[in-house]
Amino acid sequence: MKEQLKYIEYIKKFAVCNKCHIWLGGSFLRGNATDFSDVDTSIYCDKSILPEFINGYGKPVFISFTSNPPGILIIIYEDGVAVDLDIIEKIDVTDDEYFHLEDIKKHEFTRNETVCKDLALRNDEAYQMSRLFHRSLIKYLAGKKEAGISVANEIVAFLDSDDSLKEENYKEKFALLLENYKNKYKMDSEYCNLLCDLVKQL
Where does the chain have alpha helices with state H?
2-18, 26-30, 50-57, 115-119, 125-141, 145-158, 170-184, 189-199
Comparing 75-89, 94-108, 124-138, which segment has the lowest mean pLDDT?
Answer: 94-108
Q: Between 104 and 93, whose confidence is greater?
A: 104
pTM of the model: 0.94
Mean pLDDT of the chain: 95
Quote the distance between the C-alpha of residue 131 and its chain's center: 8
72 shares its domain with 131 = no
Instruction: Assess contact for 188 and 61: CB atoms under 8 A.
Output: yes
92 shares its domain with 181 = no
14 shares its domain with 103 = yes
46 shares its domain with 11 = yes
pLDDT exceeds cutoff 90 at 126: yes
129 shares its domain with 176 = yes
The residues, ordered by sequence, that sit 6+ positions from 65 with a Cβ below 8 Å of its Cβ are: 71, 72, 73, 74, 116, 117, 119, 120, 123
Instruction: Assess contact for 168 and 138: CB atoms under 8 A.
Output: no
Report the chain's C-alpha Rg in angstroms: 17
pLDDT exceeds cutoff 90 at 179: yes
pLDDT of 52 reads: 97
Q: Please provide residue 84's backbone torsions phi and psi, each rounded to the nearest 5 degrees.
A: -100, 110
Pairing of the two strands 39-44 and 82-91: parallel
DSSP, residue by residue, 120-179: SS--SHHHHHHHHHHHHHHHHHTT-HHHHHHHHHHHHHHTT-S----GGGHHHHHHHHHH
For 79, the enclosing helix (H) or strand (E) is none
7 shares its domain with 85 = yes
> pLDDT confidence of 1, banded at 50, 70, 90?
confident
> pLDDT confidence of 95, banded at 50, 70, 90?
confident
Q: Give the total residue count for the chain.
A: 202
pLDDT of 115 reads: 93
pLDDT of 161 reads: 86
Instruction: Assess contact for 57 and 15: CB atoms under 8 A.
Output: no
88 shares its domain with 138 = no
In tens, the pLDDT along 44-94 reads 999 999 999 999 999 999 999 998 888 999 999 999 999 999 999 999 987
pLDDT of 162 reads: 81
> pLDDT confidence of 111, banded at 50, 70, 90?
very high
> pLDDT confidence of 183, banded at 50, 70, 90?
very high
pLDDT of 98 reads: 96
Q: What is the mean pLDDT of residues 88-114?
A: 91
Instruction: Assess contact for 166 and 174: CB atoms under 8 A.
Output: no
Which domain CATH number covers 31? 3.30.460.10
Final residue of a structural domain among 93, 119, 145: 119
Domain that residue 84 falls in: 2-119
pLDDT of 145 reads: 96
Final residue of a structural domain among 66, 98, 119: 119
